[in-house]
Amino acid sequence: MADVLIIGDGPGGLSAALFLAKNDLDVTVFGQNKTLMHDAMLYNYLGIPQITGTEFQEISRKQVENFGAKILEVEVTEIETGGAEFSVTTAAGDKHQGKYLIVATGLEEALAATLGLSTDSDNDDAIVADREGKTTIENLYVIGWLTRGQRTQAIISAGEGAAAALSILSSEIGRDFHDFDVVKEDGDDE
pLDDT along the chain (190 residues), means of 10: 96 97 98 91 93 96 98 96 90 97 91 89 87 95 88 89 98 94 79
Report the alpha-carbon distance of residue 145 to residue 63 in Å, rounded.
23
- Sign of the CA dihedral with 93 first, then 99, 104, and 107 last: positive
CB 8 within 8 A of CB 105: yes
**Percent helix, strand and coil across the chain, each rounded to 5?**
30, 25, 45
* pLDDT for the residue 162: 97
| Domain with residues 2-173, CATH architecture | 3-Layer(bba) Sandwich (3.50)
Report the alpha-carbon distance of residue 15 to residue 53 in Å, rounded.
15
∠ at Cα 130 (140, 65), nearest 5°?
50
* pLDDT for the residue 84: 78
* pLDDT for the residue 189: 65
CB 23 within 8 A of CB 67: no
* pLDDT for the residue 90: 97
Report the alpha-carbon distance of residue 118 to residue 110 in Å, rounded.
14
Nearest to 1 by CA among 139, 131, 133, 135: 139
* pLDDT for the residue 91: 96
